[in-house]
Chain A
Amino acid sequence: MAKSPEGAFRADGASQHQWREGTATGPGTMPTTWTAQQVLALAPDEKSAKAGQGLAAPRHWVSLGCDDAAAWGECQGSGSRPYQTQIELGEPAFKCTCPSRKFPCKHALGLLLLVAGKSSAITQHEPPEWVAQWLSERVKRAEKKEQRREEQAERVPDEAARARRAADREAKVAAGLAELDRWLCDLVRTGLGAAQSKPYSFWEGMAARMVDAQAPGVGRQIQDLAGVVASGEGWQERLLARLARLYLLAQSYERLSRLPDEVQADVRSLIGWTQSQEEVLAQAGVRDEWVVLGSRMEDEPRVRVRRTWLWGRESGRAALLLDFAAGGQPLEPGPPPGMLLEAELVFFAGAYPLRALIKSRHADLRPAGTMPGYPSVAAALEAYGGALARVPWLERFPLALAAARPMQRDGKWFLADDQGDALAVAPSGADGWRLLAVSGGQAVAVFGEWDGTALAPLSVWQQGREDNPAWQV
């Protein structure tokens, strides 16, 4: 039988901060009083949320209990024995004996909803044996983990083994990229016209080989190519541009030692090396008031990613926070767009550093009020050109326009500045009308991700509104 899932809200060591307005830093300080909305935000998907709501009725539960630290209950499912569900409220951490792989499962959601609603059916206040045992086990495990971490920090690293592993990987990657190089040349030699009829396995197979060669970043890019081929008119141009960029990457790796350090860092991270978060956090950071411009969540096959974009008021530079959640786990809450984050950020190495980690926070979140941005489209594009010159593979550029008007031309939407220059808005249906509705024909501040051709808006800010951003995706 599958092991019952259990987990806690600790994605990585750095993100122990809480993003409630007005609460300061501190590990594990989740809200002491829950609202239904907060509970539902934990659900891994819509279906679970609904199922959880369905179970939030006392008639499903054989027993219910709650004290300061934990909540527990026995839910009558379709089986003969009721499922035992328990929640440690502080983290929160969930455990349930049901076979579901979802996390938190619908029983946990239902139980927490009942707690949130202060249901009168919660009669027990002393944790029974099976709850007390789990809680004490957790405490023991946390202590052990802390102990192991300390030990590991003290342990002298086995340099020889590490060097061997690193050399192995370099060799594998080199071989993989050499194969990529041949594959790219083959494609161009025989012609892209044939690419449209290639089966999905053609791309998927090559992607898998890259993953095997320990170059997962390259694998992901090749996976995307299948989508480009099917993207409609102009796919050949787009495919060629992407293939050429991959070629550039492969060539760069060949000449890696001859490249400047920052570019080496970019090449490595694109291929799939990860920089150690401990090392990044050890650096000196940039302390500033960071405006949270916007964020976007995306669901990839096995992982959920959230990109949160920041802009430093003093430093005038952008930063990107990445949060991941694997396998149906919920994402930790992040700083909401519209807020001002006073913090010290440390940046990952690169020629145009964007990705950052929060090293320390210095104040509670407070509303930012206004959004900083480029004064004109021309200025924005110039900045983009500069970024591209440093990182040719840049996929998403944070583009903030301080004053733009949404408008339509030939059925396509644009954002125009007062000089008359315009940027295309990524065609995603209603977005254009929504932008127009929010702007009311006035100039508004717009932030989005620019991919070189179109802008995908993530937030719109309006002068004088207290609840900025006026709209976010």
Chain B
Amino acid sequence: MALWQELVTTAILGSERQAAPLPITEGALGELLARLDASAPERAVLGAAAAVALYQTAGQRPRTGRAPAPEPCPLDEAPRCSAATGRHLGMMVNGERRDVLPEWLGALAAAGMRAREEHLPDLLDLGRTQADLREMILPVLGQRGHWLAAQNPDWGWVGGALDEGVWETGDRAARRWLLQALRRDDVDRGRELLASTWAEEASEDRAPLLRAFQSGLSMADEEFLEAALDDSRKEVREVAAELLARLPGSRLCRRMAERLDRLLSYTEGARKGVLAAALGRRGGLEVTLPEECDKALQRDGITRRPPTGWGEKAWWLAQMISALPPSTWPDAWQATPEDLIAAAGRNEWKAALLTGWTRATLLHADTRWAQALVVARLDRTTDADPTGLILLVPLEQREALVCQALENGGEQELGLALLQECRHPWGAALTRAALAGLQRHSSKMEWAWREAIRRLVLYMSPALIGEAEDVLAAVAAKSEGWGRATDDCTMLLRFRHDMLEEMAP
């Protein structure tokens, strides 16, 4: 409104500098303005401003115009979670007890419920910034969540349809996300897409993108990867070699198998078990170290320089062994992994053998070998580090093995280290073993336990909350320094307990 604008201008400049506008206007407003006190210019301005401002506010018309409204969302079938459960989520979204969020998401999905509508924007924002939570958030979004996400480009991570245009125009992170998504849903297309632009890709982009081939890896990728072994960038060659090692039928694996065939052999013992031990005829490994690390070997991913403490040739052997799936050996030699591990333990090159097999187990995710290696470590047949391997052992046996480690008083460090690898909801036995370990811990282990307990409490079985609180109280009573830690732990455990109880049908 022109009059208002004039008044504002006058007021900004100051009525002594700018003459007040004559408030002449028609109708009732004009009459009112004419009656105002104009004895001083500033009064005229203030008075008119009061009247005109009111006039505008009281008489305002709403914004009009039909903007395209989104299609209403179809109704959800899954029930929404209770208000109390929603409050728990509200706390976690606000930053308190964020560690428990994955458990909340998992439990809600398992209960077949969805998040409350008012929390959807928070969950969608969370998924945008924390990619590791995305898989867990998706199941609890419900129809409403997907519908909502479709309307905000920030929440595109939810979308089912993949926009390949991103490959051309998107930034590094977006392209990587697209490739990963394609490798899940349409592997061939993913490979095609990368192959099409491979030559033009920036050198620092090639390795991360190639790593996406981890999912959906198959022999169809072999040719591309074999070619990548000759890439100019070291990182790319390393990724390619690692991926090819996972394809037992690949040329790299075949080459490696040929080489190792010449270097390793196993003679079966005539008898097994006690008899064999007594009679001294157990299986034995014959090991020949590789002579040289030639270009072909390096191309296949073997590094020349050993880490400190390793001899060159032993290092090369270890790497070569790690390239092949560990299941190759029992197949080739008709022996069990336990026999081979025991044999390795008696061999002079046991470090190379066991390191190689451990890495191979990890690379190829061989659960049989993982279990065998962990058991061997707990029985002190070997001294290889089992912390990486324990995750490959199936849950049930895993818990049993960790319980075993914890119960062994002489191996407290190992027990705690393995326990910390168990990042899944624990069963009753493991919870009890952990609590017992906590209670019995030596003064040497005090600092380690105190650091660890805050995270461990996230996994303890909430059904045993009574026992846990007792143990925590007992530990706190023992020494001063524990006070704070145990308070936090008790509260966290109680929160998890209440949260899960609320969701129970």
Contacts and interface: CB of A to CB of B under 8 A. Distances in A.
Contact of B62 (A54, A248, A378, A405): A378
Interface in A224-253: 236-237, 240-241, 243-245, 247-248, 251
Given A240-B49, A405-B69, A441 B147 contact: yes
Nearest to A385: B58
A378 B60 CA distance: 10
B54 A193 contact: no
Given A423-B62, A440-B147, A388 B57 contact: yes
B60 A381 contact: yes
A433 to B, nearest CB: 4
B489 to A, nearest CB: 11
B11 A188 contact: yes
Nearest to B17: A191
Interface stretch (A101-109, A264-272, A286-294, A414-422): A414-422
Interface in B7-40: 7-8, 11-17, 40
A247 B163 CA distance: 59
Contacts of B260: none
Given A384-B58, A441-B69, A441-B71, A247 B50 contact: yes
A194 B476 CA distance: 63
B43 interface: yes
A62 interface: no
Nearest to A460: B118
Given A185-B40, A385-B59, A433-B148, A441 B45 contact: no
Nearest to A193: B12
B174 interface: no
A164 interface: no
A3 interface: no
A189 B476 contact: no
A442 B13 contact: no
Interface in B40-79: 40-43, 45-47, 49-50, 53-54, 57-67, 69-73
Nearest to A412: B63
Contacts of B70: 407, 436, 441
A123 interface: no
Given A241-B49, A421-B64, A54 B12 contact: no
A59 interface: yes
Interface string A435-473: 011101110000000001100000000000001001100
Contacts of A377: 62
Contacts of A438: 117-118
Contact of B118 (A378, A407, A437): A437
A425 B83 CA distance: 26
Contacts of B473: 57-59
Nearest to B72: A441
Contacts of B63: 414, 421-424
A191 B11 contact: yes
Contact of B15 (A188, A245, A453): A188
A85 interface: no
B121 A407 contact: no
Nearest to A431: B121
A129 to B, nearest CB: 29
Contacts of B121: 430, 433-434, 437
Contact of A188 (B42, B62, B67, B120): B42
Contacts of B16: 189-191
Contact of A248 (B50, B73, B152): B50
B313 interface: no
A57 B490 CA distance: 9
A236 B8 CA distance: 7
A36 B490 CA distance: 15
A409 interface: yes
B64 to A, nearest CB: 5
A437 B49 contact: no
Given A57-B487, A248-B50, A467-B83, A191 B40 contact: no
B69 A189 contact: no
Interface in B143-160: 144, 147-148, 151-152
A442 B117 CA distance: 13
B306 interface: no
B122 A440 contact: no
Nearest to A185: B42
Contacts of B220: none
Nearest to B47: A247
Interface string A247-283: 1100100000000000000000000000000000000
Contacts of A191: 11-17
A70 B7 CA distance: 65
B117 A240 contact: no
A251 B59 CA distance: 23
B277 interface: no
Nearest to B75: A440
A420 B65 contact: yes
B69 A407 contact: yes
Given A236-B11, A414-B63, A421-B63, A437 B144 contact: yes
Contacts of A422: 62-64, 67
Given A190-B14, A420-B65, A422-B62, A185 B46 contact: yes
Nearest to A414: B63
B58 A388 contact: yes
A303 interface: no
A194 B17 CA distance: 13
A405 to B, nearest CB: 6
Contacts of B483: 59
Interface in A53-98: 53-54, 57-59
A53 B73 CA distance: 42
Nearest to B46: A247
A14 interface: no
Contact of B72 (A194, A420, A442): A442
B428 interface: no
Contact of B45 (A188, A245, A453): A188
A54 B16 CA distance: 63
B448 interface: no
Contacts of A244: 46-47, 49-50, 53
A53 B491 contact: yes
Contacts of A251: 47
A350 to B, nearest CB: 17
A189 B47 contact: no
Interface string A154-187: 0000000000000000000000000000001110
Contacts of A326: none
Contacts of A437: 117-118, 120-121, 144, 148
B470 to A, nearest CB: 11
Contacts of A470: 117-118
A441 B73 contact: yes
Nearest to A471: B118
A434 B123 CA distance: 11
B487 A54 contact: yes
Which of A188, A407, A424, A430 has the most chain B CB within a 10 Å cutoff? A188
B58 A389 contact: yes
A253 to B, nearest CB: 14
A192 B12 contact: yes
Contacts of A58: 473
A388 B54 contact: yes
A421 B63 CA distance: 6
22 contacts: A59-B476, A184-B42, A185-B46, A188-B14, A190-B16, A194-B14, A236-B11, A240-B49, A244-B46, A248-B50, A389-B58, A405-B69, A421-B63, A421-B64, A433-B121, A433-B148, A433-B152, A440-B117, A440-B144, A441-B72, A442-B72, A467-B83
Q: Which 6 A-B pairs have the closest CB atoms?
A: A191-B14, A441-B72, A244-B50, A244-B49, A421-B62, A433-B121
Given A189-B41, A191-B11, 5 more contacts: A247-B49, A392-B50, A424-B63, A436-B148, A437-B144
Interface of B: 4, 7-8, 11-17, 40-43, 45-47, 49-50, 53-54, 57-67, 69-73, 83, 117-118, 120-122, 144, 147-148, 151-152, 473, 476-477, 483, 487, 490-491
